[in-house]
Amino acid sequence: MDLLKGLNDKQKEAVLHTNGSLLILAGAGSGKTKVLTNRIAYLIQEKKVLPADILAITFTNKAASEMKERVEKLVGKDSKNIWISTFHSMCVRILRQTIHKAGYSNQFTIYDADDQKKLVTEVIKELGYDEKIYPAKKALNMISAQKNDFITPEQYENQMLGDFVGTKYANIYRLYQEKLERNNSLDFDDLIFKTIQVLKEYPEVGEYYQEKFKYILVDEYQDTNNSQFILIETLGLKYRNVCVVGDPDQSIYKWRGANIKNILDFEKNFKESKTIKLEENYRCTKVILDAANEVIKNNCNRREKSLWTMNDEGEKIIIYNANDDRDEANFIANTIIKEVEAGNEDYNNFAILYRTNAQSRVLEEACINKNIPYQLFGGVKFYERKEIKDILAYLKLLINPKDNIALDRIINVPRRGIGDTSIDRISAYANENKKSMYEALLVIYEINELRNAAAKISAFTDIIENIKDSMENKKIADIVEMIIDKTTYINVLKAEGTDEARDRIENIYQFIAKAQEYDETREEGTLANFLEEVSLVADIDNYEEKNNSIKLMTLHSAKGLEFPHVFISGVEEGIFPSYMSLSSDDEDEQEEERRICYVGITRARKQLYITYANARRQFGKTVFNTPSRFLAEIPDQYKNDLSVKREEPKEKLKKPKKEVKKYTNFSTTNYNILVTPTNVDIDFKVGDNVEHDRFGLGVIDAARPAGADYELTISFETLGVKKLMSKFANLKKK
């Protein structure tokens, strides 16, 4: 098989460069997956590299599955020995073999967000802190940030010395981690954190995997955080054959710890590396691609590249200015219906993208009212439904009796008369005697304070022990059915007789079907492996291209996907770019919003629609936003504006003055905007001399409405031009 056939010159160069580190800067739609898969096949077929010596990492199960299928077509059965997986799946695989060295059992369980919140709430309560002052969500965000930067509780504690509030959070982190270890459980961030610890602290483990993975390939490298960088650097320490593929212009996950510097500084960290740019786009029309290039070039923190394509010119981008969010949703729905009824397209060729999940409600209602089939991503995920989490908790307890969070969830589910007071006493006894809660349950008749509840508790442990005794050589689906039968879970729901109960029963049957599918497709699947797969599934992994329905999802969820027709809705200041980014002093916050816009634009293959509304309901009130700066950054030659003259919103609070001035946005393009308030007052005007406590003295060059506030463009004497939100800038007039 000619593995270079059909590749352009730059793609061939990337496939043929097999020795030493390699950075592939791959623009949107430039065929990076083909390059990666052909490179793997080339290593095996031409360079005679053993498949087991290759590690390929990507970010979603969907992407990993696609890569596996492509590689299998190229190299056949040898592909089974290649490690192709997500970061977290790879780490679980390593930890199942090695974590016992760090004092854990290999049968550890993985906590989801709900489990983590419950555990940290328990920690805050145990430490005697007020959760209003030290909220669980903030504590978890802090803990996640430390783990993403590979900072231990002890290191964080040292950093916070002398900081009263910081010390409290350090205590929360320390006790949270201690409880995780007692429960023989890991949270999502621990999967990478613990893998690095084992590799570094146990030299024989590190040396084994450094020798094993002679060639490492990492997709979507711009999305890696500091811990992931350390992990790759550690694994590639011996052979330095690290190939990373990514695009700084598509780095959109700073909020979950991604560090764009990992890709921007790759040549510094791997000094012997070579860089290859993939700039030919095979996805978009020329119009869509040129528009994307015009938008993203306004960012400073990037690697220079310009995508080009041999595709057709294509249709202009359709712009629609709606009266309000309902008008916007109806325009989108009617446009889709018109195309489908004309026989031009199927429903599955359309995607509606938006900045936040809250925007989906009105769009969903429009689809329902017009009988448009749709698939929503970002709602309540299947594995987060109560009944599914209950069954999963039973399964977790069966393999990991130390999992107190799982036990606490199901000890009284279905209801068996075990009250909160009894559970608190069990927990207290377990803590005092350094046992797990389940170990305490097994000696329940020895605990005087719990004699009245002992019979009910014993009935629960009898169920668990009975299932454990019967589990050997049983399939996963059989174990699930045993749980349902012995707990009478479905019978209890049937007795309720409500529509909600019937939906829950249907979900349980779907879960059994999932277990049956797992049994049929995994030759040596274990209960631990099944729970691992379920724990690591992402919402977008359920995306089905052949499902004839339109797709509704956030712009973040759409990354990695493409559609013939794309609607980007709510393209307004304060929504996209977000109000938080406009309020931040960090310019990269606004640059990331522009990268999100770039990602959204390049999801479209044939036709792109961009919509915005004069008014929309937000936070229980009507707000009046101005068109997003991103619209102005797309040259008119690429746009077809379908907007018509519309009535002013009736709820408008203040009629703007007619004075119009020029405003210069991030690019050199000038466009007209009103510099007077539309619905808020402002204390500053263009030309005012002001002082900022960090940036010093400056002059206001422009004032731009942004949601319920104003964005001020200020030229500072020492730091140059900054964009700040009026309400949060704390400016003083001079």
* Residues taking part in catalysis: 32-33, 219-220, 250, 603
Structure tokens that stand for 729 in this block: 């800038």
Nearest by Cα to 685 from 719, 726, 716, 721 = 726
* 8 Å CB contact between 230 and 150: yes
**What are the φ and ψ backbone dihedral angles of 472, each rounded to 5 degrees?**
-55, 130
Structure tokens that stand for 687 in this block: 């030309």
Burial of 96 per CB tally in 10 Å (0-12, 13-18, 19+): middle
Measured CA distances, 231 to 197, 255, 412, 440 (Å): 10, 20, 41, 38
Nearest by Cα to 395 from 477, 507, 456, 488 = 477
Q: Cα(361)–Cα(543) distance, rounded to whole angstroms?
A: 20
Structure tokens that stand for 343 in this block: 């026989």
Q: Cα(209)–Cα(211) distance, rounded to whole angstroms?
A: 5
Q: Cα(518)–Cα(515) distance, rounded to whole angstroms?
A: 5
Q: Cα(485)–Cα(466) distance, rounded to whole angstroms?
A: 12
- DSSP 3-state helix, strand, coil percentages of the chain (rounded to 5)? 50, 20, 35
* 8 Å CB contact between 64 and 85: yes
Nearest by Cα to 391 from 515, 529, 500 = 515
Structure tokens that stand for 26 in this block: 């791959």
Q: Where are the beta strands (DSSP E) in 66-163?
A: 83-86, 109-111
Q: Cα(291)–Cα(312) distance, rounded to whole angstroms?
A: 14
Instruction: Say how many CA atoms lie within 13 Å of 492 toward its Cβ.
Output: 14
* 8 Å CB contact between 366 and 356: no
Q: Where are the beta strands (DSSP E) in 368-503?
A: 374-376
What Rg do the C-alpha atoms of the chain give, in angstroms? 28
- Residue 528: count of CB within 10 angstroms of its CB: 19
Phi-psi region of 687 (alpha: psi -120 to 50; beta: other; left: phi over 0): left
Q: Nearest 5°: CA angle at 671, between 654 and 718?
A: 95
Helix (H, G, I), strand (E, B) or coil at 692: strand
Bridge pairing between strands 732-733 and 689-692: antiparallel
- Read off the amino acid at residue 395: L
